[in-house]
Chains A and B, each alone.
Chain A
Amino acid sequence: MTTTRIERRFAALRAANRGGLVTFITAGDPDYALSLDLLRQLPAAGADVIELGMPFTDPMADGPAIQASSLRALRSGMSLRKTLQLVTEFRKDDDNTPIILMGYYNPIYSYGVPAFLKDAKVAGVDGLIVVDLPPEEDEELCIPALKSGLNFIRLATPTTDDKRLPTVLRNTSGFVYYVSIAGITGTRSAASGDVSAAVARLKRHTDLPVAVGFGVKTADQAAAIARVADAAVVGSALVSRIAAHVSEDGSASSKAVEDTLALVRELSAGVRRARQ
């Protein structure tokens, strides 16, 4: 039986009866070396799944924190090629933690879809989340990605009604990412009652695990989500933590990695105690 890293990880979480922690950081934020250092230590600090942002100049669905992290990475010379290299280096010591690349379509389109899928697979990428590719554009990347053995994780949102949900879920694999608010990253947080109702609705339509994100900042919020969903996604809070240690000229203080990992540990403790 060939299962993917993502499937194995969610199966293990289910067996342990706990919700998972999905951590988002931007590749190369604030520079390649620090990003690699942080990435390598995320699993030990409690990240169950890693989302790695592919920096883009025009992240239309992201709030100020992730916009800024993208620009920091680009200013330090980050590119899609280097993002794949980061994954390759990470995989040298970790063959279990799923890595999902998240971002926008243009850098991938510019790289060339077949070349990108081949290189991503070789690097050890497990899945893709591409914000500006709705099901209507599945031929572009989703179908080719599935064919090359990568999961394509779709975003479902509060505006995705029951009628549209099957369209959104049709080619989704790995897990479903529920965007808990109609809005951009790092702004509002959803009410927990709304989240549990939304997860229940998704579960009526799919057997895939459901991860919930957008607006999750604290351990308590992560715990509340881990109680009703399969995983909580935290992004803006982590990149803001990195940003707090970066000075005007783009250089980071030595505490950036340790302090960000401390937040990951807190969040992880939150999801671990959620169902006890």
Chain B
Amino acid sequence: MTASAPASRNTYRNGPDEFGRFGMFGGRFVAETLMPLILEVEKAYSAAKADPKFAEEMEYYRKHYIGRPSPLYFAPRLTEHFGGAKIYLKRDELNHTGSHKINNCMGQILLAKRMGKKRIIAETGAGQHGVATATACALFNLPCTVYMGETDIARQQPNVFRMKLLGAEVVPVKSGTRTLKDAMNEALRDWVANVESTFYIIGTVAGPHPYPTLVRDFQSIIGEEVRWQMAEAEGRLPDSLVACIGGGSNAMGLFHPFLDDASVQIYGVEAGGDGVETGRHAASLTGGRPGVLHGNRTYLLQNEDGQITDAHSISAGLDYPGIGPEHAWLHDMKRVNYVSATDKEALEAFQLLSKLEGIIPALEPSHALAYVSKIAPKLPKDHLLVMNLCGRGDKDIFAVAEHLGVKL
């Protein structure tokens, strides 16, 4: 089975089908206990989409709580430094809580409230999704439990404390590699046991249908804003888009509104860890093959027996052996170019942006910038490049200091 069938009606934007599939990817690979609830979430989301009140609520919280629209900032010194393409940064790191994750949490928690759910759970890697979820739970007065791998707890201490301040319970996950994938397993186990009361806010465009779709829809505000902001700034569409990929939510949010604009080149940057050739990386599309995990079929890092293998990345938010199913499909359709950047390249980009623009980026979008640094110098000066600066680096300064051999 391949996904080479042409997209119907000449669009890349009408997925998924009624089975939650993007080509062969996606689906609903979950235990029976969860299945009735997943169907219920799908129904509730369709109803919410058709309800103007839901859109109004989203609009209100985006504007007054998250602080949207986020600026589309022309980065003059970065542009000068690379000497090629005009670099624009989509400043989603300026959102309340410091990353794009809140865009999605706000949508899902409003959905959870509509469904009458009384308790929220989430998984987190870098802790940004955990912080965003804990924040939304504080705002709406719902109890919140966040699952986080022990490895990630150690390297993202500031976010762990932040979640606790916000009133969330942070449960350390000791199984497997003790990172994001194991946190997601544990959150799913909690959900199976508390399915009546609990809503699971998944933090990326993965999981069983309808999650990849609803997370994409809630994040698409990023690309929609870029569209009008670029029209205002330059009077036309951007020429290329670049975003980092863990599960792929910030990337999908930027890309999706532009998928049918053939002139727009799109680049998704996976975490290359020590280098894809070393086997120690988190680049599921470049180094994995199709499989089924966490409710969907997608590209996965796995061995010849179908056992999931460890991902490696300096960035806790990208350290995941899978990727959202819609990205898997866009990869096979060749609409989006999936590339990678290593730990070392990301660390360099982290420092570069801090020095040149006075913006300390998170390690995740530092991967996107590392790739920008490879292509921008070769592009013409009228080429408009937009990079999603999806998170700020405050959470990473301790880990980066350690990597650079600096004692704080």
Contacts and interface: CB of A to CB of B under 8 A. Distances in A.
Nearest to A67: B175
Contacts of B308: 57-58, 106
B161 interface: no
Contacts of B27: 136-137
B31 A132 contact: yes
Contact of B291 (A67, A106, A157): A106
B304 interface: yes
A134 B32 contact: yes
Contacts of A55: 307
B293 A58 contact: yes
A95 to B, nearest CB: 28
A164 interface: yes
A106 B32 contact: no
B295 interface: yes
A107 interface: yes
Taking chain A's interface residues, is the majority helix, strand, or loop, or is none over half, making it mixed? loop
A79 B305 contact: yes
Interface string B13-37: 0000001000000011111111111
B144 interface: no
Contacts of A197: none
Contacts of A137: 27-29
A233 interface: no
B176 A105 contact: no
Contacts of A136: 19, 27-28, 35
Given A58-B308, A106-B302, A179 B36 contact: no
B37 A159 contact: yes
Nearest to B36: A159
Interface residues of B, number: 38
A74 interface: yes
B32 A160 contact: yes
Contacts of B280: none
A132 B196 contact: no
Contacts of A132: 29-31, 292, 295
A144 to B, nearest CB: 13
B189 A58 contact: no
Contacts, number: 121
Interface residues of A, number: 46
Interface stretch (A4-12, A182-190, A204-212): A182-190
B195 A182 contact: yes
Interface in B266-307: 290-295, 297, 300, 302, 304-307
A200 B377 CA distance: 71
A243 interface: no
A110 B297 CA distance: 12
A133 B29 contact: yes
A72 B407 CA distance: 39
Contact of B306 (A106, A158, A160): A106
Contact of A58 (B28, B35, B176): B176
Nearest to A168: B32
Contacts of A111: 305-306
Nearest to A74: B307
B29 A105 contact: yes
Nearest to A163: B36
Contact of A106 (B35, B36, B176, B293): B293
Contacts of A108: 306
B185 A58 contact: yes
Contacts of B185: 58-60
A106 B302 CA distance: 10
A183 B192 CA distance: 5
Contact of B304 (A74, A110, A154): A110
A232 interface: no
Contacts of B297: 109
Contacts of A34: none
B193 interface: yes
Nearest to B27: A137
B188 interface: yes
B100 interface: no
Contacts of B62: none
B302 A61 contact: no
A19 B290 CA distance: 42
A246 interface: no
Max count, chain B CB within 10 A of own CB: residue among A57, A132, A157, A188: A57
Contact of B292 (A106, A160, A161): A106
A74 B31 CA distance: 22
Max count, chain B CB within 10 A of own CB: residue among A81, A109, A135: A109
A230 B65 CA distance: 57
A6 B262 CA distance: 57
B33 to A, nearest CB: 4
Interface in A168-218: 168, 179, 181-184, 187-188
Interface of A: 55-61, 63-64, 67, 74, 79-81, 104-111, 131-137, 154-161, 164, 168, 179, 181-184, 187-188
Interface of B: 19, 27-37, 175-176, 181-182, 185, 188-189, 192-196, 290-295, 297, 300, 302, 304-308
Given A61-B189, A105-B292, A159-B195, 18 more contacts: A55-B307, A58-B181, A60-B189, A74-B307, A104-B292, A106-B300, A106-B307, A107-B305, A110-B302, A131-B31, A132-B295, A134-B32, A159-B32, A160-B32, A179-B32, A181-B193, A182-B195, A182-B196
List 7 A-B pairs, minimum CB-CB distance, nearest first: A110-B306, A107-B306, A183-B193, A79-B305, A157-B33, A132-B29, A106-B306
11 contacts: A59-B185, A61-B31, A81-B305, A107-B306, A137-B28, A154-B32, A157-B32, A160-B32, A182-B192, A182-B193, A183-B193
